[in-house]
Amino acid sequence: MKLLELLGLSRDAGNDDVEDGDTIRRIAAELEALAPEAARRVAALAYLLGRIAWVDRRVTEEESEAMVRIVAERSGLSEAQATLAVEIAKTRARLFGGTDDFLVARELGELVPRAEKRSILDALFAVAAADGAISTAEANEIRLIADTIGLEHEDYVAMRSRYRDRLAVLREDTQGAGRKRTGEPDR
C-alpha cells in the first residue's frame, strides 16, 4: 500500500473512507492490534489531540511528541504504532476538520465513562501546553470538546486551573496579554 493510500489521501475517486470522512474508522483500521472498541477510543483520542495541536494551524515537535506519548501510554501501543496513529490523526484533523471534529468528540463521549472524559481533558491540555503556552484558541477548542464529550463547565475549569501557569492569556510575556492591555482585539 502506498503512503498516500495509508493516510487516506488516495486520488482514487472511489475511496469511500475519504468521501465519508469517517475519521475514527480510518484510524482504527490502522490499529488492528487492539480490540475494535479500544481501537476506536484510541483513534478518537488521537484525532482530538491532533485537533488541539492544529488549532493554530501548525503542529510543533513538542506537541507531536506529547501526542505520541499520551497515545502510547493510554493504549499500550508501541511507540511506532502510536506515532502512526498520531500522524494519521493529525493529517485527518487538517483535512477533514469541522464536521469530523464534532462527530469524533460526540462518539468518544458516548464510548467512555466520566472519569476517562476528565482524563481526556487533561491530555488535551497537556498537548496544548507542550510548546510552553496554551493559547486562547487552544483553550476555547478544549472547552468545545469538553462540552461535546459531556463534561460540565466545572470539570473544564478545574482542569484548566491545573494548567494556569501555561495559559497565554494570564502570562505577561505573550502577545495576547499585550493586546489585552492596549485594547487591541484578539484575532
pLDDT score of 116 more than 90: yes
The domain limits of the chain are 19-182
Secondary structure (H, E, C), the chain: CCHHHHCCCCCCCCCHHHHHCCHHHHHHHCCCCCCHHHHHHHHHHHHHHHHHHHCCCCCCHHHHHHHHHHHHHHHCCCHHHHHHHHHHHHHHHHHHCCHHHHHHHHHHHHHCCHHHHHHHHHHHHHHHHCCCCECHHHHHHHHHHHHHHCCCHHHHHHHHHHCHHHEHHHCCCCHHHHHHHHCCCCC
Entry pTM:
0.74
pLDDT digits (tens, 9 = 90+) for 13-35: 344 444 334 666 666 566 666 77
CATH fold, domain 19-182, is TerB-like (1.10.3680)
pLDDT score of 147 more than 80: yes
